[in-house]
């Protein structure tokens, strides 16, 4: 039998823990974030665009949190196309304002498109949204040695596109869907290890070109150099909305062959509008959520951050917290019959 002294110690420990927890919860944002060690969860392996952006924010965002001296550690948590990290943020991560994340944007629409078969264990509408540093577009580009000189040519002649993606990825399904929705004749050649290898295949004339789901970072830098050297050309971009700064390049949204197909294409491309999504877990105290959102917004104008982004050739076109939350809410309000039609077409494109 345990002595009363043991139970007394246990009671003291529990009371102390509750007191400390209550004190931490009661802290002002300035007191909480002062010299706070923050965690940046990145839902990909090191080296890609999401990782680059996540580490850039980890280097600069801390100075804009109350106190001005918060510091970040980075945890890469790849797997299942970003679902492992996103599930972690919803179900495991501390809800005290000390953890934020950036994940593959496709993960955030997984519950929408996969429904009961999804591995997602989260509701994106409940996350504490911080924003995205840029508005992502997809891009279709081809070699200048190809007979495909425009998207109109791709509607008349077969055009081969190299990709590293699997059968159910956007790199494969989107070109197949474009064949139905805008009348192109794309043939996807999968199996290349990565985007750089796909570009090399284009340079070797193994394929005509490539569809890039996210036009930024190393791939965009490499292809823009090829365009400048007269070795490649951009023929169309993919975005739910028209994007300034792309000149006369056509948006495939304007090429849909029927009003229904345009609506479906907008659903298919809805991931693009999420850019590089940054968020915190649900259920944060309002003052800490606002502190995170303000710090994220301020980082967008930080000279050192912008210099790093320019060096990486990332164009900063931010979408902030309220706009991100509104975009996600609209996505999850798509009429069920239209969503089912889009899902059926996407499933067919995976076969």
For 133-169, the pLDDT digits (tens) are: 987 889 999 999 999 999 999 999 999 999 876 655 7
**CA–centroid distance for 49 within its chain:** 9
State the pLDDT at residue 193.
81
Superfamily of domain 7-134+275-336: Bordetella uptake gene, domain 1 (3.40.190.150)
Confidence (pTM): 0.79
State the pLDDT at residue 12.
55
**Three-state secondary structure string covering the chain:** CCCHHHHHHHHHHHHHHHHHHHHHHHCCHHHHHCCCEEEEEECCCCCCHHHHHHHHHHHHHHHHCCCCCCEEEEEECCCHHHHHHHHHHHHCCCCCCCEEEECCHHHHHHHHHHHHHCCCCCCHHHCEEEEECCCCCEEEEEECCCCCCCHHHHCCCCEEEECCCCCCCHHHHHHHHHHHHCCCCEEEECCCCCHHHHHHHHHCCCCCEEEECCCCHHHHHHHHHHHHCCCEEEEEEECCCCCCCCCCCCEHHHHCCCHHHHHHHHHHCHHHHHCCCEEECCCCCHHHHHHHHHHHHHHCCCHHHHHHHHHCCCCCCCEEHHHHHHHHHHHCCCCHHHHHHHHHHHHHHCC
271-315 pLDDT tens trace: 888 989 999 999 999 999 999 999 999 999 999 999 999 988 788
Tokens coding 68 = 């001005």
State the pLDDT at residue 244.
76
State the pLDDT at residue 308.
95
State the pLDDT at residue 168.
57
Tokens coding 290 = 């606002």
Listed residue (230, 236, 223, 212) closest to 151, CA to CA: 236
Q: Which residues pair with 237 in a beta bridge?
A: 139, 251
Listed residue (313, 317, 337, 335) closest to 132, CA to CA: 317
User: Can you tell me the distance from the alpha carbon of 313 to that of 300, in angstroms, rounded to the nearest whole number?
Assistant: 15
User: Can you tell me the distance from the alpha carbon of 262 to that of 211, in angstroms, rounded to the nearest whole number?
Assistant: 19
Listed residue (333, 332, 297) closest to 316, CA to CA: 297
Residue in the block written with tokens 């877990």: 281
User: Can you tell me the distance from the alpha carbon of 152 to that of 235, in angstroms, rounded to the nearest whole number?
Assistant: 9
Q: Which residues pair with 251 in a beta bridge?
A: 237
Contact 32, 46 (CB under 8 A): no
State the pLDDT at residue 277.
97
Written as tens digits, the pLDDT of the chain (351 aa) is: 455 544 455 555 555 545 444 555 578 999 999 999 999 999 998 888 899 999 999 999 999 999 999 999 999 999 888 999 999 999 999 999 999 999 998 899 989 888 777 889 999 999 999 999 987 889 999 999 999 999 999 999 999 999 876 655 778 889 999 999 999 999 999 888 888 899 999 999 999 999 998 887 778 889 999 999 999 999 999 998 888 778 789 999 999 999 999 999 999 888 888 989 999 999 999 999 999 999 999 999 999 999 999 988 788 989 999 999 999 999 999 999 999 999 999 888 877
CATH topology of domain 138-267: D-Maltodextrin-Binding Protein; domain 2 (3.40.190)
Question: Where exactly does CATH 3.40.190.10 map onto the chain?
Answer: 138-267
């Amino acid at each position: 039998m345990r002595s009363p002294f043991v139970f007394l110690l246990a009671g003291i420990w529990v009371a102390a823990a509750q007191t400390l927890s209550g004190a931490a919860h009661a802290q002002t944002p300035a007191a909480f974030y002062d010299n706070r060690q923050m965690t940046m969860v990145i839902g990909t392996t090191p080296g890609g665009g999401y990782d680059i952006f996540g580490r850039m924010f980890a280097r600069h965002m801390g100075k804009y949190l109350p106190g001005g001296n918060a510091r970040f550690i980075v945890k890469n948590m790849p797997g299942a196309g970003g679902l492992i990290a996103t599930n972690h943020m919803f179900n495991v991560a501390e809800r005290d304002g000390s953890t934020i994340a950036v994940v593959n944007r496709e993960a955030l629409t997984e519950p929408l498109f996969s429904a009961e078969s999804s591995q997602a264990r989260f509701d994106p509408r409940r996350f504490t949204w911080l924003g995205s540093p840029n508005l992502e577009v997809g891009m279709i580009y081809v070699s200048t040695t190809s007979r495909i000189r425009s998207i109109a040519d791709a509607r008349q002649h077969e055009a081969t596109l190299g990709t590293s993606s699997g059968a159910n990825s956007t790199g494969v399904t989107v070109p197949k869907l474009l064949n139905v929705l805008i009348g192109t004749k794309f043939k996807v050649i999968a199996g290349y290890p990565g985007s750089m290898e796909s570009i090399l295949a284009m340079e070797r004339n193994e394929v005509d070109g490539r569809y890039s789901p996210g036009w930024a970072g190393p791939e965009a830098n490499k292809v823009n150099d090829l365009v400048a050297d007269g070795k490649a050309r951009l023929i169309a971009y993919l975005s739910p909305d028209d994007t300034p700064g792309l000149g006369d390049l056509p948006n495939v949204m304007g090429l849909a062959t029927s009003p229904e197909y345009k609506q479906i294409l907008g659903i298919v491309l809805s991931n693009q509008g999420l850019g590089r999504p940054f968020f915190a877990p649900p259920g944060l105290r309002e003052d800490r959520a606002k502190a995170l959102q303000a710090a994220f917004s301020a980082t967008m104008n930080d000279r050192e951050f912008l210099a790093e982004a320019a060096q990486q050739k990332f164009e900063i076109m931010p979408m902030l917290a309220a706009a991100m939350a509104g975009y996600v809410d609209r996505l999850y309000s798509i009429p069920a019959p239209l969503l089912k039609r889009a899902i059926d077409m996407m499933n067919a494109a995976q076969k």
